[in-house]
Amino acid sequence: MLYGLHDAPLGWFIEVKKHLTLEQGLTQSKVDECYFHGHGVHVVVHVDDFLITGKDEDTAKVRKRLHKKFKMTGGPWLQSTTD
Taking Cα atoms as reference points, which of 56, 58, 54, 50 lies closest to residue 19? 50
DSSP label of 30? S
- The residue-averaged pLDDT of 39-57 equals 93
CATH code for the domain in which residue 35 is found = 3.30.310
Distance between CA 19 and CA 15 in Å, rounded?
6
Domain count, the chain: 1
Residue 46, domain extent: 8-69
**pTM to 2 decimal places:** 0.81
Q: Kindly state whether residue 3 falls inside one of the protein's structural domains.
A: no
**54 domain-assigned:** yes
Question: What does the pLDDT read at residue 80?
Answer: 47
The pLDDT score that the predictor gives to residue 36 is: 98
Question: How far apart, in whole angstroms, are the C-alpha atoms of residue 38 and residue 1?
Answer: 28
Instruction: Mark residue 79 as left, alpha or beta (left: phi above 0; alpha: psi -120 to 50; beta: remaining).
Output: beta
pLDDT at 11: 87
The fraction of the chain above a pLDDT of 90, given in percent, is: 59
What is the mean pLDDT of the segment spanning 10-39? Answer: 95
Look at residue 39 and tell me whether its pLDDT is greater than 60: yes
